[in-house]
Chains A and B, each alone.
Chain A
Amino acid sequence: MSYDTPLGPVPEEYADLAALARTLSLSDTHLDSPPDDLWPAIQHRVAAGEQAHMNRPIAPVDTAASRFPPRRMYVALSAAAAIVAALIGLVAFASGDNGLPGTRVEQLALTNKGLESAGAGSYAKATLVRIDNGSYALDIDTRGLPSVPESFLELWIIDKTISGMYSLGPLHGSGRYLLPEHVDPVSFPIVDVSIEPTDGKPAHSGKSILRGQLAA
């Protein structure tokens, strides 16, 4: 027992609290009041977010650094919706071959089901290929991608727990998009296309227009 040790009558398992307490300064005990317009701003942000989150399987809400490890995202996921969307999509597409080198691993459909209405007329086929150097690429075949003012489209791979993601860069249309070396696509099975405002923020906007999930 550590009662009545030099730490005073503080049980040993709370010694860290006692030690931390002795680092407190007076300013730590004084909390600032936020400006009055902060609460309305939160309400506004949450209302806007709920509108956007209504039918969205994932909801990335992290800011700037989410593309850089460690990635922290606080999100909700309906993986089932993504899987259903992928299955529906798979039926709709026949396999194709674009003649680029690599071994085809799997093909999946990216659909707009339950996502941002800006992408309502869009769909895409994604083919995961293993290329000669051992890394992976997605061959994307797109139809009807929207053009949104002050915005661009970005391609992502996202993990099942939505705790991490990689950008594969701006999506310009059909073509090959390389995964970063040493990134295992099985660990990032959700393929996602988002609308990104040109605001210089590298994080996912939360506005997805197409999505599908690798079966692996």
Chain B
Amino acid sequence: MPEAYDVEASFVAGDDQALRRAYDAHGRLVYTLCRRSLGSDAATDVTQEVFAAGWFARRQYDPSRGSLGGWLVGIARNKVIDHLRAQGRRPSTVETPSSGLPAVLTEAEVEGLADRLLLADALAQLPDRPKRLIELAFFEQLTHPEIAERCDLPIGTVKSDIRRGLARMRRHLEPKP
């Protein structure tokens, strides 16, 4: 079996395909954060900035500290906040209800949104079984024996799947540029 293409290592190395792969893997996440914070028009522009900035700063990304997706979202979060600050310095503009712009978010709300999107993304990227087990733990707050019974799995498997899954999720939320 050919070795899986390592987007993160290739990204740091500046490999030809790496930016495209990174965009394919994380473009929707970055764009969604920008769009929900800034509206569609600014989101397009800021998403471009995020990937260009990430690419030029790629040597500062350290895969041992966290996922590339988390790192790019960190850049996006900073750029969104910068953008909101820049808007705040502008003379006030006329609000048009049809403009499709979201209500202006505070910086804390941007941070919160970024964390939630990352968490949801981290969960979505887990293999099916640990994903299901962690959902039962998070959302239904079942105990280990209850999860084991519900899923017809040995309790040891439940525990180790959840632990490993959580560690992978942590890695996605960890890196801050």
Contact = CB atoms under 8 A, between A and B. Distances in A.
Interface string B46-66: 111101111111011000000
A42 B51 contact: yes
Interface string B76-105: 001101110110000000000000000000
Interface string A54-87: 0000010111111010001011100000000000
A32 interface: yes
Contacts of A59: 56
A20 B163 contact: no
A61 B49 contact: yes
Contacts of B121: 31
A72 B55 CA distance: 15
Contacts of A76: 56-57, 59
Nearest to A27: B36
Contact of A63 (B19, B20, B82, B123): B82
Main DSSP-derived SS at the B contact region: helix
Nearest to A39: B23
Contact of A74 (B20, B56, B138, B147): B56
Interface residues of B, number: 62
Contacts of A74: 53-54, 56-57, 60, 75, 177
B68 interface: no
Nearest to B24: A39
Contact of A34 (B31, B55, B138, B142): B31
Interface residues of A, number: 45
Given A9-B159, A31-B121, A63 B86 contact: yes
Contact of B120 (A4, A29, A46, A62): A29
Given A17-B169, A17-B173, A18-B138, A24 B120 contact: yes
A101 to B, nearest CB: 35
B56 A20 contact: no
B56 A8 contact: no
A198 interface: no
B32 interface: yes
B32 A31 contact: yes
Contact of A9 (B31, B48, B49, B147): B147
A46 B139 CA distance: 42
A175 interface: no
B144 interface: yes
A53 interface: yes
A148 interface: no
A6 interface: yes
B27 A34 contact: yes
Interface in B112-126: 112-113, 115-117, 119-121, 123-124
A143 interface: no
Interface of B: 19-20, 23, 27-29, 31-32, 35-36, 43-44, 46-49, 51-57, 59-60, 75, 78-79, 81-83, 85-86, 112-113, 115-117, 119-121, 123-124, 136-144, 147, 158-159, 162-163, 166, 169-170, 173, 177
10 contacts: A4-B143, A10-B137, A14-B166, A17-B138, A28-B119, A33-B28, A42-B48, A62-B82, A68-B85, A74-B75
